Structure formats: C-alpha cells, structure tokens
Amino acid sequence: MKLITRDTDYAVRALREIAQSKEKMVSTVYLEEKLGIPRAFLRKILQLLQKSGILDSAKGNQGGFILARPAQDILLLDIIKVFQGDVCVSECVFLKEPCSQKSCCPLRGELKKIENYALERLGAVTLKSLSANTRK
Amino acid sequence: MKLITRDTDYAVRALREIAQSKEKMVSTVYLEEKLGIPRAFLRKILQLLQKSGILDSAKGNQGGFILARPAQDILLLDIIKVFQGDVCVSECVFLKEPCSQKSCCPLRGELKKIENYALERLGAVTLKSLSANTRK
DNA sequence: TCCTAATGATACTATATAGGTATCATTTGT
DNA sequence: ACAAATGATACCTATATAGTATCATTAGGA
Ligand code: FES
Ligand code: FES
C-alpha cells in the first residue's frame, strides 16, 4: 500500500536539489547525473511541475528549471497532488459505478479519520523542511 | 489513492452478512444474491478468508461459511491484511531495487507517522463495530 | 546568422496490479 | 446415487504505473 508513487518520490528529490542549487537554472541533464533518475522520465516529471506552477522554466541554451516560489511555500501535499491527484484515502472503491452505499458504508467513517490525519501531516511539511532533514 | 481495495470491501460486506445470519452455514449463492457481488469473485474471497482463519467452512450439501471466532475478535486490520498484505503506507517505492536512501530518505519519517496512526485506527475497529454502524 | 543546448507538447510502449472467470476435484446430507 | 456445496488452481482482462521516444520551439553564444 503506497501513499507515495515513484513520480512523487523523484519529484521531491529533484526539487530538493533545485532548491539547494546556487545556479540560476538547473538542467535536466545535471539532475539526471546527480540523482540517477532516467532522463526522459525526469523530464516528464519536471514538465509537470512546471505546468502546475511549482517550477519556472527557461527554454534554450543555459535554460532549465528553478523554484517558482520559496521552498517554505511549497508543501509536500502540493507535490503529491501533481502526480497523484487529491489525497483521498477514503475514496470509494466503486467510484465509477455510482455507489449506492455511500451513506451507509461501514468503512467510510474510519477511513475519513485517517485521511484527515494524513492531510494534516502532509500539509505541514514544506520542501524546506524536507531539505533540512537531509543531514542525518 | 486507496487504502482499501475492492477485495477488502467485498470481504467486509460478506463478513457482516455472515455475522448477522442466524443460519448455521452461509453459502456463496446466498451472499451473491444478497450483496450483488459476482459469484466467482466472491468465492475466491471467501476461500481466502477461510485459509487465513477468519472463516470456518463446511463442504458438501448444506455447507457454507461461518465466522471462525466472535465478531468482536475480528479486526478490520486482519481483513485488510488478508487481501493487501501488511499495512505499510511508508513502503519504499524502490522496495525491489534495494534502496540506498533508506536512512536519509526525506519522506520516510512523515509517512511513518501517518502509518502509525492508520494502524492504530484500523486496529481499533472490529467486525462487530462495523456491523453496529449499519443502522444509520 | 547558424549551431547547439535546452524545454514544450505529445504519443507511444512495457510491466505490474487489480479485478474477475472458469474448471475440475472433493466432500457431504438426503 | 445425486445434488449442492467448497478446495485448489489456472487463467484472463482492464487499468494504472513506470518509462521511452520524437519532433517542435526557443534562446544564448561563437
Ligand atoms: S463502497 Fe461506496 S461508499 Fe463504501
Ligand atoms: S526511496 Fe527508499 S527509503 Fe525513500
């Protein structure tokens, strides 16, 4: 059971790297070498982060990516949402076949509590705090 | 993001039905009609519950399934484990390629907290309490 | 100005997991 | 003996995850 997919995990690593960089723009090639993430996949991930407003980008020579806002304003929850949609632990397993049991389903209540807790924790973690944790 | 798969959801419904039944043995056919779960799939689910010791079964005519222990001794967590393995929200996304970052991964700490909370909640819910919730 | 290094957009492929079926053997009450 | 049930097991299909590939576009610098 995974709360975090590989996209998200890679994204966090790349973002930490970008946050810590002193360069103006950080390129995919640089990140690939530093992190060992397959380049094409990493590119897709960075493009998504750009579209969602977490990264700014520059095309052309010397181009690359940079944080669109300070690291303390980027939440782990924001990053998760880009790749995994809304955090919704209590999602009905029959979401697509309109479910007749929504109001009486014996699981929803408990799952909702867990979801709320998860949202609270994930919303409290910023990219900045994730970077601080590094020096173990 | 799903904490509960369809197997588990079906299992919970079937178990509630079995718990409430006054018959000695409850058959797959009866449950199929009552719950609208595809029979072959339901059979697989019940067989798994039997193997894992949550249900007892009887073969032959008038056979079927019955709870192996009182409803208050069957935890939601037990049921989840049968179909989804251990609840492990903080599972490393690179589980199969031994992960070099286990000790320094910036996500593990937070995910672990969420996992602990989930375990605590799910471990507190019994089949009996799930049945009680029904009469909304 | 042209070349090159970069991203943007988008389509495609591969693999794993979830969800579901099907079949035959075995058991048991009537 | 027969019918009604489960046991064991193999298989299939759809979807989601993970990853690749390609061409177009942009911008800096020799
Ligand atoms: S199955 Fe639809 S709400 Fe629980
Ligand atoms: S990626 Fe392996 S521990 Fe975080």
> What's the pLDDT tens digit per position in B46-55?
999 999 999 9
- Closest residue, chain B, to A117 (C-alpha): B114
- Cα A101 from Cα A8, distance rounded (Å): 32
Torsion of CA B62, B54, B83, B32, to 10 degrees: 30
* Amino acid making up residue A14: A
- Cα A64 from Cα A50, distance rounded (Å): 11
**pLDDT beyond 70 at A98:** no
The answer to whether B9 CB sits below 7 Å from nucleic acid chain C is: no
Average pLDDT, chain A: 90
The domain made up of B6-134 is a member of CATH 3.90.1280.20: no
Give me ligand 1 centre to Cα A60, in Å: 50
Q: Which residue owns the Cα nearest ligand 2 atom 1?
A: B92
Q: In chain B, which residues touch A (CB < 8 A)?
A: 1-6, 9, 12, 16, 76, 84-85, 87-91, 93-94, 103-104, 106-107, 109-111, 113-114, 117-118, 121-122, 125, 130-131, 133-134, 136
**pLDDT beyond 80 at A1:** no
Q: Give the confidence band of A106 by pLDDT, cuts at 50, 70, 90.
A: confident
Helix (H, G, I), strand (E, B) or coil at A20: helix
- Contact assignment for B1 to A109 by CB distance below 8 Å: no
Percent of chain A residues topping a pLDDT of 90:
71
pLDDT the model gives residue B86: 87
Q: What is the pTM of this model?
A: 0.90
> Exposure of B48 by Cβ count < 10 A (0-12 exposed, 13-18 middle, 19+ buried)?
middle
> What's the pLDDT tens digit per position in A42-69?
999 999 999 999 999 999 999 999 999 9
Q: Give the confidence band of A136 by pLDDT, cuts at 50, 70, 90.
A: very low
DSSP element (H, E) containing A58: strand A55-58
| Mean pLDDT computed over A98-112 | 76
Per DSSP, the residues of A75-113 read BHHHHHHHHH-S--TB--TTTTS--TTTTT-TTHHHHHH
Cβ A99 under 6 angstroms from ligand 1: yes
Q: Residue B76: name the closest of A117, A113, A112, A111 by CA.
A: A111
- Cα A22 from Cα A68, distance rounded (Å): 15
As ranges, strand D nucleotides with an atom below 7 A of a protein CB are 3-10, 17-22, 25-29
The bridge status of strand B55-58 relative to strand B64-67 is antiparallel
Segments in chain B below pLDDT 50: 134-136
The CA-CA-CA angle for residues A11, B95, A10, to 5°, reads 5
